[in-house]
A = this chain, B = another copy of it.
C-alpha cells in the first residue's frame, strides 16, 4: 500500500477561472480534486459498507477525532493497527482536530491558551484537547491528512471575539506544526485552518500568517455555521485569493450541491459534509433533478427509480414507491439505500465538476446544473 518514498503532494491539472481540478497524492492513493469526502464520524460512513463508498467514487473519507478519542480511544485504535484497517478503508483518511465537535458536543468546556478542557457527551469523563494532543491522536489513528486544532466560534460573533479566536488559532497552528514534525510518519500532511469569521480583514490576516508558516494544505474553517450561502460565498471570495495556488484548499463542513458548485467556482478543492448521509437517513435524496423528499405521498405509486442513468444500484434499481414505503415504515433499508444513493450523487457531482473544469466550461455547466437542481425541489 505504501510506495518506497511515501510523499504528500498536489498538482493542478486544469483551471477555469478560479475553479481548479487536480490531484492530491498520498502514500495511500490519489485524491481527485475537487473532492467530496464522505464523513465517517465514528469510523463508519453511516449505513454504508466501505466497498460502497469506494465504488461510489470516493477517494478519501473523513473521520472525527472528537468521536474516536472518546470511543474507542486513539490508543486502542493504534494497538489494533490504526484507523484504516480498523474501519476497512485502504484509501486516504482525513481527520479533523476535534475542535469543532468539542465546541458543539462537549460539556463544561474551559478554553485556555493551552487548549480545551471538556467533558465527554457520552459518559461525562474529563478530557483535555491541546494542539499537541490533537496531533498525537491523529498520529495514533494514522490519518493521512491531519488538521490543526483551532477555536471555532459560533456566528454571529463580535469582531474582537473573532480576532481573539483567530489569533489563538494561529498560535495553535504553530504548536500543531511543531508537534506534527516530531510525531508524524512520512507521507502524512498537516493542514492549517484559516479563521476570522465573516470579517474579510481578519480572514486575510489569518491566511497570510498561516501561509508564512508554509503548510501543505489550507482549510477555510468556521463557515457553514449558520451564516447562510451568500455570506459564505462572499467570505470565500475574500479569502481564497490569499491562499497559495499550488496547495489544496479545503472548505470544512460544506455543504449542499449549490454550496459545492459555488465554492468550487471560487477555488475550493476539498469538501466534507454529513448532509448526504444524514439527509439520506431522513428520507431525502439528492438527484440531478433536485432534492427528493421520499416521505411525500406523490411517490407512493411511482415505479421510476431516483435516477435510471446512475451507476449506483440504490439510485437505479429501486422504485420511488418502494423507497417511499421503506422511509414511511422506518426500515433500515431505506436509510441504507438513500445514504448510498446520496453519496453516489455527491461523487457524480464532483466528477462532473472536474470534467467541466478540464473542458473549460465550468460556468456554463454550473448554470445549467443549478437550473436542473432547482427544477423540482423536494418533488
What are the residues of chain B within 8 A of A44 when measuring CB–CB?
Answer: 326, 331-333
What are the residues of chain B within 8 A of A87 when measuring CB–CB?
Answer: 322
Chain A 73-105 against B: per-residue CB contact (8 Å), 1 yes, 0 no? 000100111000011100000000000000000
| Contact indicator B329/A47 (Cβ below 8 Å) | no
For the complex formed, measure the closest distance between the CB of A333 and the CB atoms of chain B, giving whole angstroms: 4
For the complex formed, measure the closest distance between the CB of A83 and the CB atoms of chain B, giving whole angstroms: 11
Cross-chain contact of A333 among B48, B300, B328 (Cβ < 8 A): B48
A242 interface residue (CB < 8 Å to B): no
A367 interface residue (CB < 8 Å to B): no
What are the residues of chain B within 8 A of A325 when measuring CB–CB?
Answer: 42-43, 71-72, 86
Q: In the complex, how many residues of chain A place their beta carbon closer than 8 angstroms to a beta carbon of chain B?
A: 35
| Contact indicator A321/B47 (Cβ below 8 Å) | no
Binding site for B on A (CB under 8 A): 42-44, 46-49, 71-72, 76, 79-81, 86-88, 281, 300-301, 303, 317-319, 321-322, 324-326, 328-329, 331-333, 335-336
**29 A-B contacts, Cβ less than 8 Å apart?**
A42-B325, A42-B326, A42-B331, A43-B322, A44-B326, A44-B331, A44-B332, A46-B333, A47-B332, A47-B333, A49-B336, A71-B325, A71-B329, A72-B325, A76-B300, A76-B301, A79-B301, A80-B303, A80-B321, A81-B303, A86-B319, A86-B322, A86-B325, A87-B322, A88-B317, A88-B322, A281-B332, A332-B332, A332-B336
